[in-house]
Amino acid sequence: MTEARVYLDANIFIYAIEGSPVLADPLRELFGLFRDRRAVGVTSELTLAEVLAGASDLHRRNYLNLVVWSRIFDLQPVSREILIETSDYRRVAGMPKLPDAVHMVTAIRAECRKVLSADSRLKLPEGFVLIPPDRDNLSNLIQELS
């Protein structure tokens, strides 16, 4: 059986580091599944630019430790190919925000059929599922991947 691949938008890391325990605790449990290789958590290097921009020094260290140094996540580069494909995807899918489109194209290229994001404006291609990060959805995802 192929490992499930779950794409994580930048807002997921913000909830995990700066959010209330209602979301942070189940997210940490999910990250444990990624660490144990029960599934693959994928995000774009763009996530770093998004989460670090307004982070305090402490949160900055926490983000870097979690997203980069822990090696829990498959961190995808923002390549020239991603940017070219993103311009096409923005036009076709009608996604005006560049960061959102970069995340979607990265998820598509990384074959992540599940996209964990609080951004309901994301336009996913057919066959992809947007999972809003609430307690029930996270519980269901954790159970599915366990």
Rounded Cα distance between 146 and 144, Å, is: 6
The tally of CA atoms less than 13 A away on the side-chain side of residue 133 is 28
Among residues 90, 132, 85, 92, the alpha carbon closest in space to that of 110 is found at 85
| Beta-ladder partners of 8 | 116
What pLDDT is recorded for position 2? 64
Percent of the chain with pLDDT over 90: 89
Phi-psi region of 9 (alpha: psi -120 to 50; beta: other; left: phi over 0): beta
- At residue 110, the 3 state secondary structure works out as coil
Q: In the predicted model, is pLDDT for residue 121 greater than 90?
A: no
- Residue 30: CB atoms within 10 A of its CB come to 25
Please give the backbone phi and psi of residue 138, each rounded to the nearest 5 degrees, phi first.
Answer: -65, -40
What are the tens digits of pLDDT across the range 11-38?
Answer: 999 999 999 999 999 999 999 999 999 9
Q: What burial letters (b/e) apply to 68-101, b meaning 16+ CB within 10 Å?
A: eeeebbeebebeeebeebbeebbeebebeeebbb
Q: In the predicted model, is pLDDT for residue 1 greater than 70?
A: no
List the CATH code of the domain at 4-145: 3.40.50.1010
Q: How many residues does the chain have?
A: 146
Structure tokens at 66: 């979690």
What angle is formed at CA 44 by the lines to CA 103 and CA 122, rounded to 5 degrees? 15
Domain boundaries, the chain: 4-145
pTM: 0.94
Q: In the predicted model, is pLDDT for residue 94 greater than 90?
A: no
